[in-house]
Amino acid sequence: MKIRFLLLLPLMLSVIPTAPSVAAGDRFALVIGNAKYPDADTPLKEPLNDARDVADELKRDGFTVDIGENLTGDGMRRAFDKLYGKVKPGSVALVFFSGFGIQSARQSYMIPVDAQIWTESDVRRDGFSLETVLGEINTRGAGVKIALIDASRRNPFERRFRSYSAGLAPVIAPNGTLVMYSAALASVISDTGGDHSLFVQELLKEIRVPDLMAEETLNRTKMGVTRASRNEQVPWLSSSLAEDFSFIPGAHTSRPTATNVTPPATTPAPAPQPPAPPAVVANNPPPAPPPAPPAPPPLPKPPEVSVAPSPAPAPAPAPSPTPRPQIEAALPPPPPPVKPADTGTSPSAPVDTAALADDPTIKSLTAKIASNPDDVNALYRRGQVYASKGAYNLAIKDFDDTLRINPKDVEALNNRCWTRTVIGDLQGALKDCNEALRLRPNFVDALDSRGLVNLKSGAVKNAIADFDAALKINPRLTSSLYGRGIAKQRNGSASEGALDIANAKAMDPNIVQEFASYGVR
């Protein structure tokens, strides 16, 4: 079933502008660290520390810096508009973003903390396209445009799409642009849970080296990350700079120090030191490590489905751990095996192994797994790709290996539950969904998936209970709305079921075809 995230908490906006330094000239930077996503299991630890260190360093390098932490969509829009307003012909404009990023329609999007992303079209509605940002800076006349994007983390959003998409996409940027991602294209890395990301550690180390042009600085950063990660993380770099630019202006041995930097700038230290937290605008408490958000999100289910534009998002109500009678019950005696003709997806149909072998994403992931059989991210991602291409048995094997390494990976459990449901292994699917919900109560995606398991098994009351629980968390969860409608009709409530089905079809006209592919009509 479609993977959804939980509620959206009111999140704090803190954009902390700093006055231009004495030697700032025409160097402008916007630094964003987004860590408190309600859909993640816990707040990310790295983005805020990284953003503060990068902002502090850029100030010492003569940039006028605005820093934003845990920015909502409105906050990011205001921050970008402010940057656009500062840019002058011939100036330098730099954007640093640390948080979650997604590629959609071959563009990379930076995601605000309050994004309501359930379908791929929501990415384009709520996210901020890096190409659009660079294009706008270019139209303002910036001579040098730099984007440093640390957003290749495994995240709860893109795993919700049937159409597989992971990591970031290449950027078609205007001339005079330098773009660097913290990891390779279409690649994701796990957040280490440490205080700083490897990418930013290496970046700050190289920025402090005198006599380097920006391209060389970033190339050295790339080599440092690759070496330190033993080739597991290889940053991506693209340059179309038409003029020389160095992060360190002027003298080789010293840099202009901003008069307003807190704490006061001193001789550059050999290793990055976390600056004091910046002052926060009124009504926005400092971004201390936030409390863990409510039970969160995850994953996509594979088969590719084109999604109709979603209606305007309504604030999702806070999930209350309401009791779910029946839904923990075991399945009734299993029905006769599902015939391939009834599945819609023909899970028993032969898979084009040659086409799979030639798929560039599968090739890349397979090479990673060959060099490290316990690369849990590569195994998980390859399982998603296989499932999206109908290679369900191969997908299940990769999810098996993912769970062998980490038995508590609730997203892998949910994906395996869904894939097993598609091929008719309903007992195995139920076991996976129950375990995912034991580990993460109110996991909306697993509730949605288990609703499908119960629906296909004929346990319609259990299905209704699961879909009800999922819809309490996300009333816009079309798959649960449609599934509940089918279950209600089968339970004798024809008019109520028809209303759910009509509402679901109005939200997503493809939902009927999607359920038919699961063998549910």
Tell me, yes or no, whether 189 and 67 share the same domain. Answer: yes
- Torsion over CA: 494, 496, 500, 503 (sign): positive
SS3 486: helix
HSE value, Cβ hemisphere, 13 Å, CA-based, for 384: 26
Tell me, yes or no, whether 179 and 61 share the same domain. Answer: yes
Position 480 in a domain: yes
User: How many structural domains does the chain have?
Assistant: 2
Position 386 in a domain: yes
Q: Which two tokens stand for residue 151?
A: 């957003």
Tell me, yes or no, whether 213 and 355 share the same domain. Answer: no
- CATH number of the domain encompassing residue 427: 1.25.40.10
Residue 436 structural domain = 340-517
CA distance 426 to 403: 19
The residue out of 239, 272, 289 marking a domain boundary is 239
Q: Are 111 and 117 in contact (CB under 8 A)?
A: yes
C-alpha dihedral (249, 253, 259, 262), degrees to nearest 10 = 110
The residue out of 181, 216, 239 marking a domain boundary is 239
The residue out of 190, 214, 239 marking a domain boundary is 239
Position 273 in a domain: no
Position 388 in a domain: yes
**Residue type present at position 257:** T
CA distance 342 to 516: 9
Tell me, yes or no, whether 206 and 351 share the same domain. Answer: no
Tell me, yes or no, whether 234 and 371 share the same domain. Answer: no
Q: Which two tokens stand for residue 351?
A: 């898979």
Per-residue pLDDT of the chain (521 residues; tens, 9 = 90+): 443 333 333 333 344 444 333 334 599 999 999 999 987 767 888 899 999 999 999 999 999 999 999 999 999 999 999 999 999 999 999 999 999 999 887 889 999 999 988 777 888 889 999 999 999 999 999 999 999 999 988 777 766 665 555 678 888 888 999 999 999 887 888 766 667 899 999 999 999 888 889 999 999 999 999 988 888 899 999 999 888 899 987 634 333 333 333 333 333 334 444 443 333 333 343 444 444 444 444 444 443 333 333 344 444 444 433 333 333 333 444 433 333 333 333 454 556 777 787 777 788 889 889 999 998 888 988 888 888 788 899 999 999 999 999 999 888 999 899 899 989 999 999 999 999 999 988 888 899 999 999 999 999 999 999 999 989 887 777 889 999 999 999 999 999 999 999 998 887 777 888 888 888 88
Position 267 in a domain: no
**Residue type present at position 266:** T
Position 284 in a domain: no
Position 322 in a domain: no
Tell me, yes or no, whether 220 and 346 share the same domain. Answer: no
- CATH number of the domain encompassing residue 176: 3.40.50.1460
Please identify which residue in the block is written with the tokens 């009351």: 461
Which of 149, 38, 56, 42 minimizes the C-alpha distance to 98? 149
Position 316 in a domain: no
